[in-house]
Structure 1
Amino acid sequence: MENRTERPAYTMRDAAFWKIIGALGFASLFVFAAMYTTQPLLPLFTEEFGVSVSSSSLSVSLTTLGLIFGLLVISFLSDRHGRTLYIKWSVALSVIPFFIMPLTDSFWLILILRFLQGFTLAGVPAAAIAYISEEVDRKSVSFATSLYISTNALGGMAGRVLTGYVTEHYSWQTAFYGLGIAGALIAAAVIFLLPKSRRFEAADGTARQDMEAFLFHLKNPLLLISFGLGIVLQLSFTGVWTFLPFHLQGDPFGLSLEAISYTYFAYGIGVIGSPLAGWLSDRLGIRPVRMAGVLILSAGILITLAESVAMIVIGLCVICLGFFTAHSLTAATVGRDATHHKGSASSLYLVSYYVGVAAGSTLLSPLWAAGGWTLLVLFAAIIPVVYLAFAIAARKRLAARA
């Protein structure tokens, strides 16, 4: 167990601050590469295994479901036993399925392994933001969180692009073996780099008291607004990216898997957008910058209605800028608004966030089937703006009561 000592939090002047950023960055890079690695492969899975579009999308949503269960379990454990143990084991264990999945010709076994992999991946997101909020100086938390989330974007981009490229030239099995080897190297780097907690304070009490504290967050209206925003942001974002390969493979584009995988380089804008959002929020405030992020996200989604590949790519870049701006600032807000059990509060936000992933990757299938890309895009663009208006009104009512 990690014990708290009365030591000052790390600032950007400390070498340990950058070790934290480096270790969590590597861990996040692998976690999000692993989570979304099957997204560009969905059309291939429908052909190779003879499954439907919605069944193929389960390779993303079941991983997300496993991660949600993992977040709920590990958030409790990390509040009691510390953060670094679960971060390290998360990366190490989640490597294993990548060496097993290429050996089977059963798509349903792949889905089971993806669910289990999602559970093991949860250790990093369950503990990382709480770890940052405890170990990093309050003035640097937003910046550190934004840097961490920017590697979420980098991992998502790397997993999709490399998987698509390697699959096009070799096979999806080769891509999975490559991810497994890279993950093993990253696990070694995380174990070596990540500093031990100095300011962690273990939660006391029984499991029942932990559950009551966990549920207490659901009575905090400010946190509920953030949780809802997490669902809506990811619902729209994931919905667009999940069905994009099917859209670009069809008429009038007819793009190859390799060409489609290159569109995921748009995630590079997210790598820039998260730290930029943190910097701007320190000067302008979190709320206006986050509001701008939501509006930019919706505008980018609408741009993808264009019949030009170039315009669609521009739209995807705008989407990533808006999404990672809004998401990184919402995550930082949750850590600030939670008065205790920060690990479980952060995990609740991530649970809502990944509920949005699951919904966007599978539950939007009826929209795709009914109206294709146009209906899906209109829904994905409108719902964040509607929720933003609701959130603003709800905050005004709460302020009036205070």
Structure 2
Amino acid sequence: MSDISPIEMPAKSPAKEYLTRGTASYRRASLALFLSGFSTFSLLYCVQPLLPIFADEFSVSPAESSLALSLSTGFLAVAIICAAAVSEGLGRRSLMSISLVGAALLTIATAFAPSWHLLLVIRALEGLVLGGVPAVAMAYLAEEIDPRGLGATMGLYVGGTAFGGMSGRVLTGIFAEYLTWRPALLLVGAIGLAAAIGFIALLPPSRNFDRRSGFDPKFHLRAWLGHVRNPALPFIFAIAFFAMGSFVTIYNYAGFLLVAAPYDLTQTELGLIFAVYLFGIGASSIGGMLGDRFGHFAVLLTGIAITAAGSALTLSASLPIIIFGIIVLTSGFFMSHSIASGLVGKLARGTKGHASSLYMLGYYVGSSVMGSAGGWFFAIEGWSAVVSFTLGMLTLAFAAACAAGIFSRRKL
């Protein structure tokens, strides 16, 4: 069977050759993008279970300790905009490869940081380097995968991000208890480097990407403005901001809640709670397939509602119910993120890399700004205030999804 399937295009347009299910190239691309998601998110979020440790060791507040993550996601958000422009000339595959290797090496460097401020500088640089992966990966999928199976493939990529987010958190938590946090970060960095090498070896070259020589700021500005003027896309970007902001807020401060009385969890026990990311892997793939079959916006709204339900469940004083709430929240979030990220490629009119970069900008600005802001609520009113904060954001995400559905009817 051929690895590619010619799709007829309008007159005077060259036929595009998409990767289709059941072919060797499709399987290689799927595995490579899974590895890219795994490496990116394991490296990005490996510090999250260490936030209580950082607070103690460096004598900083919970909100300040969250900067070890928020600075990475904040700088990543800025880098994504630049990465979309750079990839137009450098190429999707080359930029992602450089980013994955660089981020793994910076994680290894973090393990040797002698001071809190230098650790933050390294983490900020890591965010800048990682910007070459998320938006470009989504653009690669939108350009190279048969549109009829894009939802399922995007779900697999998001599943890789979920697996990476889980692995980075779980492994770091376990390693930190038995080896201290520095060897933990060293080992996670080495694993990320191995995944980056696998990505480079597996990913097929782009077939439908048109390289642009030089750098034309006006072209990129027009591309971004064009997507902002799309009636539906700004609402999808808002969903990324609010949904990711609520998700990261819960994960940032759940550790502070659960290592304190009356739960008194160890670092290993706290790390193992992040194994609930496995439910995100399944939910992202299932969400993509359900969206292809039953309608993207119906599944998107369902995912946001499930996320809110999970957040509310963590208000319980019972540890099993809190963990169940995190499972529900994780499943709902990855279902909605899988659908929303796939909708960007479907709704964008050309320059899909630029559209993806705006989605990821909202995604990571939400993570950075709202993730740190949640620490203020935690310091003032405790966990109930954190949950109220997240439910407010999810209400706004739900409203944005409704608006996006209305404005996109003619497009989809």
Equivalent runs, 1:250-269 vs 2, <5 Å: 250-269=260-279
- In structure 2, distance between residues paired with 1:102 and 1:169: 15
* Residue pair 1:5, 1:199 contacting (<8 A) in 2 also: no
- In structure 2, distance between residues paired with 1:188 and 1:395: 40
Aligned to 1:273: 283
- In structure 2, distance between residues paired with 1:20 and 1:334: 20
Q: Normalization by structure 2: what TM-score?
A: 0.93
Answering whether residue 29 of structure 2 is matched by residue 20 of structure 1, we say yes
* Residue pair 2:246, 2:371 contacting (<8 A) in 1 also: no
Aligned to 1:103: 112
Pairwise CA distance, 1:103: 2.1
One-letter amino acid of the structure 2 residue matched with residue 187 of structure 1: A
Aligned to 1:317: 327
Secondary structure of the structure 1 residue equivalent to 2:262:
coil
CA 1:393–1:216 in structure 2 vs 1: closer, same or farther (change >3 Å)? closer
Secondary structure of the structure 2 residue equivalent to 1:201:
coil
Of 127, 146, 169, the match for 1:160: 169
CA 1:363–1:11 in structure 2 vs 1: closer, same or farther (change >3 Å)? same
- In structure 2, distance between residues paired with 1:255 and 1:302: 21
Equivalent runs, 1:2-401 vs 2, <5 Å: 6=15, 8-203=17-212, 206-393=216-403, 395-396=405-406
- In structure 2, distance between residues paired with 1:278 and 1:239: 25
- In structure 1, distance between residues paired with 2:393 and 2:111: 38
Q: Percent identity?
A: 32
Map Cα deviations across residues 268-300 of structure 1 (whole Å, 9 max, x no partner). 000000110111112211011111000000001
Pairwise CA distance, 1:79: 2.3
Pairwise CA distance, 1:367: 1.0
- In structure 1, distance between residues paired with 2:280 and 2:407: 33
- In structure 1, distance between residues paired with 2:101 and 2:404: 42
* Residue pair 2:307, 2:329 contacting (<8 A) in 1 also: yes
CA 1:189–1:398 in structure 2 vs 1: closer, same or farther (change >3 Å)? closer
Pairwise CA distance, 1:99: 2.6
CA 1:5–1:121 in structure 2 vs 1: closer, same or farther (change >3 Å)? farther
Secondary structure of the structure 2 residue equivalent to 1:264:
helix
* Residue pair 1:79, 1:344 contacting (<8 A) in 2 also: no
Gaps of 5+ in 1: none
CA 1:341–1:38 in structure 2 vs 1: closer, same or farther (change >3 Å)? same
CA 1:387–1:184 in structure 2 vs 1: closer, same or farther (change >3 Å)? closer
One-letter amino acid of the structure 1 residue matched with residue 240 of structure 2: G
One-letter amino acid of the structure 1 residue matched with residue 74 of structure 2: L
- In structure 2, distance between residues paired with 1:329 and 1:265: 22
Q: Which moved more, 1:200-209 or 1:18-27?
A: 200-209
- In structure 2, distance between residues paired with 1:158 and 1:397: 38
Pairwise CA distance, 1:395: 4.8
Pairwise CA distance, 1:120: 1.0
Q: Which moved more, 1:237-246 or 1:215-224?
A: 215-224
One-letter amino acid of the structure 2 residue matched with residue 306 of structure 1: S
Pairwise CA distance, 1:100: 2.0
Map Cα deviations across residues 193-238 of structure 1 (whole Å, 9 max, x no partner). 1111111123578321221222221111201000001001011101
- In structure 1, distance between residues paired with 2:113 and 2:139: 38
RMSD over equivalenced CA pairs, Å? 1.8
CA 1:301–1:82 in structure 2 vs 1: closer, same or farther (change >3 Å)? same
* Residue pair 1:68, 1:354 contacting (<8 A) in 2 also: yes
CA 1:393–1:6 in structure 2 vs 1: closer, same or farther (change >3 Å)? closer
Pairwise CA distance, 1:396: 3.9
* Residue pair 1:6, 1:199 contacting (<8 A) in 2 also: no
Q: How many residues align?
A: 397
Secondary structure of the structure 1 residue equivalent to 2:387:
helix
- In structure 1, distance between residues paired with 2:110 and 2:399: 44
One-letter amino acid of the structure 2 residue matched with residue 109 of structure 1: L
- In structure 2, distance between residues paired with 1:386 and 1:216: 24
- In structure 2, distance between residues paired with 1:259 and 1:223: 40
Q: Which moved more, 1:186-195 or 1:204-213?
A: 204-213
Q: Normalization by structure 1: what TM-score?
A: 0.95
Secondary structure of the structure 2 residue equivalent to 1:262:
helix
Secondary structure of the structure 2 residue equivalent to 1:8:
strand
